[in-house]
């Protein structure tokens, strides 16, 4: 498991007035480990203030994901987990990249 470095986040709800009580715009450097065929790997990002139940609304990286399937979710207080699954015919090792996340806390 790898962890993200150089995490920068901006907190506020100005873009989603009325839908979310809080939002986070997170940018960090991510250097994922190689993922073998049929395997999964996880990375974590520390995001101060997020809690279970918050939603990862979007995720992007600035490299080709080479057929990998990725999912991001809040896994614990202050922690976002990115799960990477490799359904391709060979191992994939992505370059270090900038990861962008948008996270929201819904009005309950």
- Give the domain 2-106 fold: Deoxyuridine 5'-Triphosphate Nucleotidohydrolase; Chain A (2.70.40)
DSSP string, 22-44: EEEEEEEEE-PPPB-TT-EEEEE
Question: Is the distance from CB of 54 to CB of 47 less than 8 angstroms?
Answer: no
CA dist 1 and 54 (Å) reads: 22
* Predicted local confidence at residue 14, as pLDDT: 66
In this structure, what token pair is assigned to residue 16?
């989603």
Is the model's pTM score more than 0.75? Answer: yes
Q: Are strands 20-30 and 2-3 parallel, antiparallel or unpaired?
A: unpaired
pLDDT of 6 reads 66
Going from N- to C-terminal start, the domains of the chain cover: 2-106
pLDDT > 90? residue 5: no
- Is it the case that residue 19 has pLDDT exceeding 70? yes
Q: What is the pLDDT of residues 33-78, one digit of tens each?
A: 899 999 999 999 999 999 999 999 999 998 888 899 999 999 999 9
For the stretch 22-40, pLDDT in tens is 889 999 999 988 999 999 9
- Say what the pLDDT of residue 2 is: 63
């Amino acid at each position: 498991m790898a962890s993200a470095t150089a995490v920068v986040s901006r907190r506020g709800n100005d873009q989603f007035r009325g839908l979310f009580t809080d939002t986070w715009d997170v940018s960090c450097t991510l250097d994922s480990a190689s993922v073998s065929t049929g395997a999964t790997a996880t990375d974590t990002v520390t995001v101060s203030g997020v809690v279970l139940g918050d939603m990862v609304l979007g995720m992007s990286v600035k490299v080709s994901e080479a057929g990998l399937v990725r999912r991001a979710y809040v896994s614990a207080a202050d922690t976002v987990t990115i799960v990477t699954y490799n359904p391709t015919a060979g191992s994939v090792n992505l370059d270090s990249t900038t990861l962008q996340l948008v996270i929201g806390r819904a009005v309950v």
